[in-house]
Structure 1
Amino acid sequence: MDFQELEQETLRHAPPVLPWVKFAEWIGLGDEPKVVRGWVDRGYVPTLRIGKRLMINVELFRQQLLEAE
């Protein structure tokens, strides 16, 4: 799956942050969460750490996708 394949409607009603595994499920990669972890490790998606949890900053990611259009 490529970032451009993510539908805008999917991201429009997104929570502001999600754990990376839940983010993988949410975008349809629940059976391949390591793909999202690879994106995280390569810096392709914005993250933040809340306590011990690594979260995807969905709001910032959404904004970046909109700006890239």
Structure 2
Amino acid sequence: MEGIDINLGDQPPPPPPPPLMPWREFADWIRMDHDIVRGWIRRGYIPTVKLGKHMMINVALLLERLRDEDDF
């Protein structure tokens, strides 16, 4: 059986995430159950911004925090 040669260098990099994302869309994006992400929001584990009645995940701040962690 022969292997398949895949050259990933020909593909463009994925687009950067938006700085803010609705929390349900964020949960889908990271493929996590909505109830779990809602719990993270309530506990303050991930940064959020409330815009009117919409709860948004501050993806830019979350990524910055993850980059600043020593273990990451």
Structure 2 match to 1:58? 59
Aligned positions, number: 58
Which residue does 1:6 correspond to in 2? Answer: none
Percent sequence identity over aligned pairs? 43
Higher helix share: 1
Q: Which amino acid aligns with 1:42?
A: R
TM-score of the superposed pair, with normalisation by structure 1:
0.77
The aligned residue for residue 24 of structure 1 is 27
Aligned counterpart, 1:14: 17
Runs ≥4 in structure 1, deviation > 2 angstroms? none
Q: 1:34 and 1:20 mapped to 2: Cα distance? A: 11
Q: Structure 2 unaligned segments of length 5 or more: list them.
A: 1-12
What TM-score does the superposition give when structure 2 sets the normalisation length?
A: 0.74
TM-superposed deviation, 1:13: 1.4
Q: Distance in 2 between matches of 1:25 and 1:13?
A: 16
RMSD, aligned CA? 1.8
1:49 aligns with 50
Q: CA deviation at 1:61?
A: 0.3
Q: Highest Rg: 1 or 2? A: 2
